[in-house]
Chain A
């Protein structure tokens, strides 16, 4: 396997091959628990930690496990990583653990994690694998938080409510009321809102990509082989 640069990995995880926006993996938690920033951040952090743990372990054992049993092995590794994170969350963020409910254990079935384990960690050395897990998780969590922020803002007119669930009592007054006297827009908080906003985010990303492509095409000048430079002398007038 050819070595991969960390820069490429970062670009892939955060933008070009973003798990949520391009691969469209892990949509179930993405759509179900992105109602508020705190839920989104909680699940994003948990997923990132699981990704790092699973990518690390898979990369370590990649030369020992035979191809035929690799998938069950990976799933077991992922499941144990999820269990660790779940127990940690029970210990340090019990209320958030209750809110996220079934979606924490369901991280096991999140396709991003198995996809990265089988598609990347099983073929690469420890360093790049760990970094890939980290950056893919950050890419996923970033989309989750943006989505949660958009939905919380349009749904309730405020941002960062109940952050104390994740950051302790000090964060209790982080709530930022953007629009006072806001009429709650329930659709944004209900599941259809998640679909609509995910669609809009993907559309914005595609728009930006199209702009970048256009700019690159404009910068690049096509030279046909054996063409000659035109020599300009003097001015026309």
Chain B
């Protein structure tokens, strides 16, 4: 007798929404620690202020929608949105930038569509994109990583957030910015680019590579906890590296960068394990997740190398959020005992 796993879940894991969300929050900790180590307290201040605003917005929306406050606030989904958005924001962002981003994420992208579970777009990424197209200057000023510039202290970080007019920060182009400009101007060989700019480290950017490794570690832990399946992140990373390998071009001036550079740059690992895996806005079927992830990876590469924006995780994820129901429609798994479209059993 074949012991097939039948469709119904016959045993339940004690996994509540709250536990999933708390696990996700916990998994971001290594990444946050590394970001704080390399870029200072800016990210932490972002997260603290962002979480406050997020809980406030969530409570407001629940009150307006006449939902029970305690029950929905306890699921911590607003906190997850705040953490994800605030990690993606540049450190030392002013308070109003964070507040606008969080408010549009929670009020517009989440509650206008019906709250947790009904939002077609990833709230954190909607907030990020709204900020990116509205305030391009603030959203592209990243502080220099440790060792390449003055390290602002905790007090500076607080001042940057709450009295932005009085704060005079230092910013530096990120490795992805430099690569993007280099491809556009077609000027330097990759090796020269590496030598001329101190932002580049061992494989990718100073600081960035370790932040990506830390988010990878957090993601793998979530995978081990079975918060999500491996399909979407692996497909995304695979298609991104495949395209990078195809267009590496031996490190010429038109090179799009090595696969390792793309895997460890910008928001790659953060996106792969914390954004692409969002259970609400991604596809449901496993085959669908492979397609979904692979297309996100491809879009990220194309926009990074050929687009006007240095990084592209948010745009790619939103575009594929559009396509998720469509992909699900064509990748429905065969119901046990029924033939597929071609009539096979």
Contact = CB atoms under 8 A, between A and B. Distances in A.
Interface of A: 183, 185-188, 190, 196
Interface stretch (B128-136, B149-157, B193-201): B128-136
The SS class assigned to the A binding surface is helix
A186 B96 CA distance: 15
* Category for how many chain B residues contact A: under 10
Contacts of B135: 183, 185-186
Interface of B: 96, 100, 108, 130, 133-136
The SS class assigned to the B binding surface is helix
Contacts of A196: 108
A188 B134 CA distance: 8
Nearest to A199: B112
Contacts of A188: 134
B180 to A, nearest CB: 21
A186 B108 contact: no
15 contacts: A183-B96, A183-B135, A185-B100, A185-B134, A185-B135, A186-B133, A186-B134, A186-B135, A186-B136, A187-B130, A187-B133, A187-B134, A188-B134, A190-B133, A196-B108
A228 B136 CA distance: 71
Contacts of B96: 183
A187 B104 CA distance: 11
Contacts of A190: 133
A185 B131 CA distance: 9
A185 B135 CA distance: 7
Nearest to B94: A183
Contacts of A186: 133-136
Contacts of A185: 100, 134-135
Contacts of B133: 186-187, 190
Given A183-B135, A185-B100, 5 more contacts: A185-B135, A186-B133, A186-B134, A187-B133, A190-B133
* 8 residue pairs, one from A and one from B, having the closest CB atoms: A187-B134, A186-B134, A185-B134, A187-B130, A186-B133, A187-B133, A190-B133, A183-B135
Nearest to A196: B108
Nearest to A186: B134
Nearest to A187: B134
A196 B100 CA distance: 15
Contacts of B136: 186
A236 B101 CA distance: 60
Contacts of B134: 185-188
Contacts of A183: 96, 135
A188 B100 CA distance: 13
A186 B108 CA distance: 17
